[in-house]
Structure 1
Amino acid sequence: MLSFNTFIKDLRTIRTALLLATVLFIAGGILGWIGTGSLQQLLNEQLKGISKISGNLRESSNPQWSFFVFIFLNNSIKSVVIIYLGALFGLLPAFFLLINGAVIGYLIHLSAIQGQDLFTLIVKGLLPHGIIEIPAIIIACAFGLKFGSKVLSALLGVMKRSRAETVNWQAFMRQTFTVSVWIVILLFVAAIIESTITFWLLS
């Protein structure tokens, strides 16, 4: 039930949701890049919060360990929770994808405007851990979106009193448990990379 092959098979059953989640993340990145007005203010607040947390972690007695614990717990808890919050018609996973994509898009654009080295930011600062972390977050949100669509299908089935709309909740909840375990594992690896390799590359 928890094997990697089962995880991959489960991903194949939500291909449409995965595509939608990827599109939402990219759309968020585009919005972040062109962000103006209230969106720009929101993203600035997000970056200020991240910068403050980063500063506090760097001042700890063991910065690398502090970064690892914070990054792993923050990402894994949010990612697992967002799967089940998808039950609220998939709205929160969609918002989560847009905001995360927007923060990255805005950060890259801001760095470009300020004349900073984008190679260092992207290749050294984002890619080493992001190549694992970003897909894991997209997968979590995709299952959240799928959860929302299943809730809608169930409600429509009740309204229409149609057995054709019956949702196989037992199989789906098993999938959410399997994917939660593997997302935590992937984010554990990503946190190790971010708190060691990325930390070293940017130091």
Structure 2
Amino acid sequence: MLSFNTFIKDLRTIRAALLLATLLFIAGGVMGWIGTGSLQELLNEQLKGISQISGDLRESSNPQWSFFVFIFLNNSIKSVVIIFLGALFGLLPAIFLLINGAVIGYLIHLSAIQGQDLFTLIVKGLLPHGIIEIPAIIIACAFGIAFGSKVWSTLLAAITRSERRAVVWPAFMRQTLTASFWIVILLFVAAIIESTITFSLLS
């Protein structure tokens, strides 16, 4: 049930949701890059919050351990919760993807405008952990979107009394549990990388 092969097979069953989740994340990145007005203010507030938390963690007695604990718990809890919040018709995972993509897009654009070294930001600051963390978050949101899709299908089946639209919920709920397990594992690895390799590269 929790094997990695089962996890990979389950991903194949939500290919449409995975594609949609990826496109939403990219769309968020584009929105962040060109963001103006109220969107820009929102993203500035997000970055201020991140900067404040980062500063507090750096001042702790063991910054690397503090970063690891915060990053792992923050990402893993949010990712697992967003899967099941997808039951609200898939809206929250979609919003979550747009916001996260927008923050990254805005950060890169802001750094470019300020003349900062984008190589350092992207290759040293994002890629080492992001190559695992970002796909894991997209997968979590994809399962959330799939959850919402199945809720819609169940409602339509009830309204139209169509057996063809009926959803096999036990099988899907098993998939969400398997996905939750492996997403947490992936985010655990990403948190180790971010609190060690990324931390050292940017120090």
Which position in structure 1 is the counterpart of 2:192?
A: 192
User: 4+ residue runs of structure 1 moved beyond 6 angstroms?
Assistant: none
Matched, 1:120 2:120: yes
Distance 2:158 2:45 in 1: 43
Distance 2:10 2:154 in 1: 20
- Structure 2 counterpart of 1:6, one-letter code: T
Query: Deviation string for 1:79-137 (max 9, x for gaps)?
Result: 00000000000000000000000000000000000000000000000000000000000
Distance 1:137 1:114 in 2: 29
- Structure 2 counterpart of 1:65, one-letter code: W
Which position in structure 2 is the counterpart of 1:166?
A: 166
Deviation at 1:162, TM superposition (A): 1.2
> Tell me, what secondary structure is at the counterpart of 2:136?
helix
Which position in structure 2 is the counterpart of 1:38?
A: 38
- Structure 2 counterpart of 1:89, one-letter code: F
Which position in structure 2 is the counterpart of 1:71?
A: 71
Distance 1:37 1:158 in 2: 43
Deviation at 1:164, TM superposition (A): 1.1
Distance 1:103 1:132 in 2: 18
- Structure 2 counterpart of 1:199, one-letter code: F
Q: Name structure 2 gaps, 5 residues minimum.
A: none
- Structure 1 counterpart of 2:122, one-letter code: I
- Structure 2 counterpart of 1:95, one-letter code: I
Which position in structure 2 is the counterpart of 1:149?
A: 149
Distance 1:201 1:185 in 2: 23
Distance 1:24 1:124 in 2: 25
Distance 1:75 1:108 in 2: 21
If the length of structure 2 is used for normalisation, what is the TM-score? 1.00
Query: Deviation string for 1:2-49 (max 9, x for gaps)?
Result: 000000000000000000000000000000000000000000000000
Query: Deviation string for 1:61-91 (max 9, x for gaps)?
Result: 0000000000000000000000000000000
Which position in structure 2 is the counterpart of 1:54?
A: 54
If the length of structure 1 is used for normalisation, what is the TM-score? 1.00
Aligned pair count reads 203
> Tell me, what secondary structure is at the counterpart of 1:81?
helix
Distance 1:202 1:45 in 2: 23
Distance 2:162 2:113 in 1: 56
- Structure 2 counterpart of 1:108, one-letter code: I
- Is the deviation greater in 156-165 or in 44-53? 156-165
Which position in structure 2 is the counterpart of 1:134?
A: 134
Distance 2:61 2:81 in 1: 30
Distance 2:9 2:163 in 1: 26
Deviation at 1:165, TM superposition (A): 1.3
